[in-house]
Structure 1
């Protein structure tokens, strides 16, 4: 029954495609949320927030989706991983120095500065990457 095998192969391929699309949609939603967080904290436009996330990802060698997940967990966990805090702070400062119109929320500015003085914070299981 070659037709049954062919149908089974098509079904498996379609199921894998659906799974990939679901992962992409979930990832996109988290990145969109992180863009909103950067916009709110940094007073940026969406395009600038996207560029900042990409820059942090490239400078830390952490996938953009993971950077986004850290930012989305930030309010619940009370902090960002040191590497992410440092990179985000540096990216925001570069934009400010470069004449960008970024207004960093005062609390964020202090938290990012503290990253230079503190060691890594302990994370709870709720804050650990998935």
Structure 2
């Protein structure tokens, strides 16, 4: 049955359109989260590679080192990974991160 104000429209069409708009927004948000996760994963993988090459740890050990430094400095893992990559390119590390990095690497030996 058509709406009296809009004879061509189905009843409930507005609520279905609203539901679809909400679904689209939710999917966009999920898509953005997945893009961030993929980017973060790539950075973590690069930092693990740096630790493998520079510190001689295994890839599993490199991830463990990153995780420990992240936990002990209360810093996101991806942020620690970014700092490690920049450090490999010549940037300094904050003293707390550097100290925890040395301690985590020492535990791997």
Same-fold call, TM cutoff 0.5 = yes
Match of 1:34 in 2: 47
Residues 1:90 and 2:96 aligned together: no
Task: Give the alignment's Cα RMSD to 1 decimal.
Answer: 1.2
Work out which structure has the larger RCO, using CA pairs closer than 8 Å and 6 or more positions apart in sequence. Answer: 1
TM-score by length of 1: 0.69
Unpaired runs of at least 5, structure 2: 1-13
Closer/same/farther in 2, CA of residues 54 and 32 from structure 1, 3 Å limit: same
Q: Deviations over 1:55-74 (max 9, x none)?
A: 11111111111100101122
SS of corresponding position for 2:75 = coil
Aligned partners of 1:76 and 1:92: how far apart in 2? 19
Deviation of 1:95 after TM superposition, in Å, equals: 2.3
The ranges of structure 1 where at least 4 consecutive aligned residues each deviate by more than 6 angstroms after the TM superposition are none
Unpaired runs of at least 5, structure 1: 97-130
Larger radius of gyration: 2
- Paired residues, number: 96
2:86 corresponds, among 63, 68, 73, to: 73
Q: Contact between 2:61 and 2:108, CA under 8 Å: does it hold in 1? A: no
